[in-house]
Amino acid sequence: MRISPLRLWLQSTSLLAVLAGYSLLLLLNQGVAVLQRRLAHEQLVSALVAELQRRASTSQELDALLSRSLLPGLQLRLLRGVPPAKAAPALEQRLDEGWLTSAQPLQLGDGPTYTLLVEQNVSASVQQERLAFWLLAVAAGVSSLFTSGLLRLVLQRGLVRPLQEFTAQLAATQAPPVPSDQIPVAEQPEELQPIALAFNDLQQRLSVSWERQRSFVDGVAHELRTPITLISGHAQRLLRQPGIEATAPSLRLIQQEAQRMGGLVSNLLDLARQDSGRLQLRRRPILADEALVQAYERLAFSSGWRLHLDTPAAELPVAIGDPERLQECLAALIENALHYSPTPLPVSLAADLQGNALVLHVRDQGPGVVSGEREAIFERFVRGSASINSSNRGSGIGLAVVRLLMEAMGGSVQVADALGGGADFQLHLPLLRPLGVPPSA
């Protein structure tokens, strides 16, 4: 079930409350008018009886007085005997006219007791009351519309705008949280101050937890580098000794796993340095052909000669970045491509110019990356759906490290579809000098 916005709910509820108040006021006004009319009728009848008793002492004099027209819209009848009960004024309808009827006992001086039946035509008063009722109803409707518009303005300025400003302050908080990044509680409306206090408390606890986690990862990564380096070095030294044909496969496995663990530790260190703002790069000129040739020479043998190097179609301009970190990015992308590209299909390296960026391509012939995952796979500990059917034991942080290194160099990493199928991972590097800008003298 869809929940209506709070502003709409408050506005509609307030409008219903206003309408209910106006309706109760109209009903109360109508009841008061009816009561006043009946009280006026009773006072008129009492005054009339008192006047008749004062001016008439016999039935003949009373008949003479009743035959005269005392008041317009008033009919008097004299009945012999006492009424069975004191009749209260009642509103009756006669020929589409409103009448009030009451009976009062009348004692004359000659002894007999009569009942005076008084009938008063109040149709004019009833019609005036109805007209006033509808005028008040129309005024209540117009007033309700005006109240609704005014209430909308009040809610916009008193509720929506403070909430939007509060939301903007929440969105401006940094990730990871910083202890000094607090929302000024005193500047918030009184109703939002408890929320601001709770958010600041949560921000402080998250900052402490994040700092502990970062220190733990940084410390563990530093502690693991030394034993991993020793394991890898001893495995390489044992492999160089003669007469170890029986244990060579195990030693090669130890060496490979040690190298993989070393790469994982390096990635964790890079992530920790990035989170703490301690990641430092050395920006130098980079030539595309030199960077690709260096990556090819380092990884061609370990790839089973599946790595192919495409010749650039034209001379490419010089880019700027960290050459060593760029080699780490290329190695991570090449390793990823080799895992997802079936053997013996090749993985190709290429370079071209796109706008004011030098682009290095690592193309494979694997299943590719679906469009909905092309941003998510560069997040930490996220692997694409193609990894389900793959034997790759990746940690899910390799591509995340590639992105943070490329962004630290002022570039970016993207993935697109390769021609003929597969994925085309692209490293975008800023040019040392934008195209069209002459070199400085």
Task: Please check whether residue 72 lies inside any domain of the structure.
Answer: yes
Instruction: Provide the residue range defining the domain that includes 12.
Output: 6-145
With 0-12 / 13-18 / 19 or more C-beta atoms within 10 angstroms meaning exposed / middle / buried, residue 351 is buried
| Nearest to 115, CA basis, from 106, 102, 124 | 106
pLDDT tens-digit map of 330-358: 999 999 999 888 888 999 999 999 988 99
pLDDT reported for residue 234: 76
297 and 425 housed in the same domain: yes
Indicate the residue among 243, 276, 309 that finishes a domain: 276
Task: Please check whether residue 181 lies inside any domain of the structure.
Answer: no
Residue 212 CA to residue 64 CA, distance in Å, equals: 112
Task: Please check whether residue 178 lies inside any domain of the structure.
Answer: no
DSSP assignment, residue 396? S
pLDDT reported for residue 3: 41
Intervals of the chain under pLDDT 70: 1-7, 68-72, 81-97, 109-112, 174-180, 213-223, 274-277, 386-395, 435-441
| Structure-token match 């004299």, residue found | 78
Q: 305 is written with which tokens?
A: 């000669």
pLDDT reported for residue 395: 63
Q: What is the CATH number of the domain that holds 208?
A: 1.10.287.130
108 and 16 housed in the same domain: yes
Q: If phi over 0 gives left and psi between -120 and 50 gives alpha, with beta otherwise, what is residue 264?
A: alpha
262 and 385 housed in the same domain: no
Helix 398-408, helix 323-340: angle, nearest 10: 150
Q: How many domains does the chain have?
A: 3
H/E element holding 105?
A: strand 97-107
DSSP assignment, residue 431? B
Task: Please check whether residue 128 lies inside any domain of the structure.
Answer: yes
Indicate the residue among 224, 248, 276 that finishes a domain: 276
Q: 193 is written with which tokens?
A: 């101050």
198 and 132 housed in the same domain: no
426 and 296 housed in the same domain: yes
Residue 409 CA to residue 216 CA, distance in Å, equals: 27
265 and 333 housed in the same domain: no
pLDDT reported for residue 134: 85
Residue 169 CA to residue 165 CA, distance in Å, equals: 6
Task: Please check whether residue 57 lies inside any domain of the structure.
Answer: yes
| Nearest to 78, CA basis, from 106, 116, 107 | 116
321 and 269 housed in the same domain: no
pTM beyond 0.75: no
135 and 22 housed in the same domain: yes
Q: What is the CATH number of the domain that holds 341?
A: 3.30.565.10
pLDDT tens-digit map of 113-132: 778 788 888 888 888 888 88
- The CA-atom distances, in angstroms, between 203 and each of 34, 175, 183, 306 are 65, 10, 10, 50
414 and 328 housed in the same domain: yes
Residue 67 CA to residue 65 CA, distance in Å, equals: 5
Is the separation of the CB atoms in 393 and 418 below 8 Å? no
pLDDT reported for residue 93: 45
135 and 111 housed in the same domain: yes
Indicate the residue among 247, 276, 305 that finishes a domain: 276
